[in-house]
Structure 1
Amino acid sequence: MCFSGDGKSIDLTFRRIPEYGGAELSHARFSDFSFRKHAHDRVGIGIVTNGAMQVNTPRKSFIAEPGILMTVNPDTVHWGCGVGDHDWEQHILLIDEASFAETVREMTGRNQNEKFTNLSLPDPDLWRCFQDVHGAIAKTDVPLARGELLLGLFADVVERSGVAPDLDQAGRNEPRAVTLARSYIDTHFAEPISLDDLATITGISTYRLSRAFRHSVGLPPHAYQMHRRVRAAEWMLRQGQAPVDVATDCGFSDQAHLTRVFRQATGITPAQFRAG
């Protein structure tokens, strides 16, 4: 299983820009590293420029390598690791969901929420376009230039990778117990929560709840709680809060605990994320 374990990252850079709700760009070379199961509240687009990475979701697994564009929808649980014993290098762009959705609606003329239909797209031309745009955005401090580069990239990605109405979101019918449990974790993520607590709230057994939650959400309840803590930590760090305070506010035992979990989920430390 590639989602457990740790490792080291080399030559990592991270930058946040104001455009599109605070788009976040990262470039990293990984050695002996595995991403644990996690999800983002943002739209993710990325490429691997050297080596290869195995990417897993509950519904699909694929190999990301040069020539393939990766896309990840918000809240899609995914995890991954390098292929073989080789290092791999990746470039990632994370965009605010609402800003991206508005741009897609302008492009398609549709008012429905859209999601990517192809999580991996073999397209060397689009792969090179992303690499060029990612590098150019990272180097320029001209807001208009960054905005134009992103808009052009989005147009190419939407046209060539494909988006479609988010039927899961429009017609999602999660079991009531899962909805209650998820809502409780969302509200109390920083507090100690047990399966017994959730079973009492939902009115079903811990076994039934755990199975239903994992099936519906893609993560077991505790992993989802850690995911919510990381997402809250990201928000606080974007506001400039100190990692030591974020650790306390998000329910981590200490700053070291925050750093370990945050790095396993994102590949960078809270301090690096805050400085971006």
Structure 2
Amino acid sequence: MAASLRFPDGVSPTGPWQYWRASGGGIVELGIVRGQEVSLPPHFHDEDQLTFVLSGRRRFVMADRLFEIGPGEGLRIPAGTPHRSLAESADVIGLNIYTSPDAYMAAELFAGLAQLWRRQGCIGWRDLPAMVEEYRCDPAMPQLPLDFIGVCWENVGEAARLAGMSREGFSRRFRRLHGMPPQMFRLTGRLNEARSLLRVGQPLADVAAETGFSDQSHLGRCFRRAFGVTPGQYRRGVLTAP
């Protein structure tokens, strides 16, 4: 796949290296490297360097060990780690993201960038800071606790607003944390609430209304799909079991 980058306003590639400050988020600096003359002598950064390759390859030497990454792959160089980069025999296009030390989940971020790059064929700098922020591992960042997720929102857009995130970012982070999309998670929570009400003998119509289903048929379809029995069968079983 041919690599493509959308540059921010006022930034145009004039040489192998280009750096600029990102607006917002926890990114200290962004950079792009292009061409074959991409070698640099030993040096280190006060920040973590997260390098992601869009085309070609990049090679780094750290502690006499060679690291090589190709298209769709990334490498984290921890803050304070001496390293050098090697020249390449073919053109390379790569980006560098400089962040506070240990502030982001590098492997997960690289996987997200690779998915975006393969799907869209490009990465836009305007959207990059917000995407990177989704992978922050700062314990102070809201972790979308289950009680917040199950009670306080009626749809994904509302949940994202309450969490201070974009709808897409909220959905991606939710899936990573809980293993399913937010809509499915919330539906499952409502169905489990229905189970609890059925176990104490609540009428089906009341259960459907209290758990937010449009009617008994709607509850029945979702309940059977999730648990393999209808709400009526479940209710009879739990109420008559010895």
How would you bin the TM-score normalised by the shorter chain? 0.3 to 0.5
Decide which structure has the larger Cα Rg and report it. Answer: 2
Higher helix share: 1
TM-score (norm 1): 0.34
